[in-house]
Amino acid sequence: MKILVYLPTSLGNSLLSLPCLKSLQVNLPEAEIYLLLSPPLERLFAVILPEYHRIALGEVKDIPRLRRTANQLKKLSFDFGLLLDNSFTSALLFYLARIPERWGYDHEGRGFMLTRKFTVKATDPPTHLKDYYLNLLKKAGLRPKTDISRLTVSSHHLRQADKVLKNHGLTNDRPIIAISPGSSFGLARVWPIEHQTELIKRLSGEGWQIILVGSARSRDISQAIISSLKSNIVDIVGQLELEEIPGILTRCQVFVGNDSGLTHLSNLLGLPVVALFGPTDPDTCGPVLPPVAILKKPVPCSPCSYKTCPYDHRCLNNIQPDEVYQAIKSYL
């Protein structure tokens, strides 16, 4: 059997779907599983899950491109398609590719294109995203695999990471703390710059090494932090490809970040994580493996989905630098 799994498009959601992917493998051990991902995620998964076949899916902007992609998939003769992405387009792609079995949630009116469709009622209690994806298999009568395996990075990629760290003057004789200062989602998930600056000053004063990591979308935040500091910290935000990040994180002792893909990546790599949650709910999208310290302040306006807070950003403003410092220190 050949199976094609359409993974969620965001980094964090794709990582939280891994237990579902592993469960599928356990239930169908003889199956040949292919993963359909965006090009950046395809390159990342080549590093963290090289045992799976992968297909890079470029952005489908129009019907002609959708049909060409569907025809390419049709030639691969898949027997079964599992949709972990909830978009209408993903179901249409599998439908046009004539994949005989197409399973997924009935979302955005796409149920008519699925051979097995599953629903989530508005009255159902909130569930963690990890379980949301696992429930697809459970609803279909398969056995979910609840334990979660840690990700590993090959020695080749670790050597590449060591070169990057050495070139930036970081050594292995003192702890390295990775901080993700920004958010690709929006400023609503960004811990205030002045809090981050105060924390970094204190950590640097202890002699610990600091490295800022993240995508190019967080570059303005990292630059604002750097400009307000006199201490020597390393800023590689926006300078590395996503697939280079796992090796860097593996060489760190603690990761500090918000609700983001890098927080989940660090967590699944086994790195102690200090996660700062503001507008989102860690009970539905938080890190899933110990060791993790989740810091969140109860406020009446959370959870919310604003990209920029229309109020005073109290959910993250109220998390004090000393709290984060103490959480980091408990891991060192």
Render 280-314 in DSSP notation, one character per residue. S-HHHHS--SSSEEEEE---TT-S---SS-SS--H
Q: Measure Cα distances from 308 to 100, 219, 305 in Å.
A: 43, 17, 9
Separation between Cα atoms, residue 265 and residue 247, nearest integer Å: 11
pLDDT on residue 129: 96
Which letter does DSSP use for residue 135 in this model? H
Hey, what are 279's tokens? Answer: 């507008």
Return the residue matching tokens 């110990």: 290
Q: What are phi and psi of 327, to 5 degrees?
A: -65, -40
pLDDT on residue 275: 98
Q: Where do the domains of the chain lie, and which CATH numbers do they carry?
A: 2-139 (3.40.50.2000), 157-329 (3.40.50.2000)
Separation between Cα atoms, residue 246 and residue 231, nearest integer Å: 26
pLDDT on residue 145: 83
Tens of pLDDT, residue by residue, the chain (332 residues): 999 999 999 999 999 999 999 999 999 999 999 999 999 999 999 999 999 999 999 888 889 999 999 999 999 999 999 999 999 999 999 999 999 999 999 999 999 999 999 999 888 888 999 999 999 999 999 998 878 889 999 999 999 999 999 999 999 999 999 999 999 999 999 999 999 999 999 999 999 999 999 999 999 999 999 998 877 899 999 999 999 999 999 999 999 999 999 999 999 999 999 999 999 999 999 999 999 999 999 999 999 999 999 999 999 999 999 999 999 999 99
pLDDT on residue 147: 83
Q: What are phi and psi of 96, to 5 degrees?
A: -70, -30
| Cis before 303? omega within 30 | yes
CA nearest neighbour of 261 among 251, 246, 247:
246
Hey, what are 63's tokens? Answer: 């019907």
pLDDT on residue 231: 74
Q: Measure Cα distances from 246 to 6, 58, 96, 176, 316 in Å.
A: 22, 23, 35, 14, 27
Task: Work out the angle at residue 285's Cα, subtended by the Cα atoms of residues 87 and 297, and round it to the nearest 5 degrees.
Answer: 135
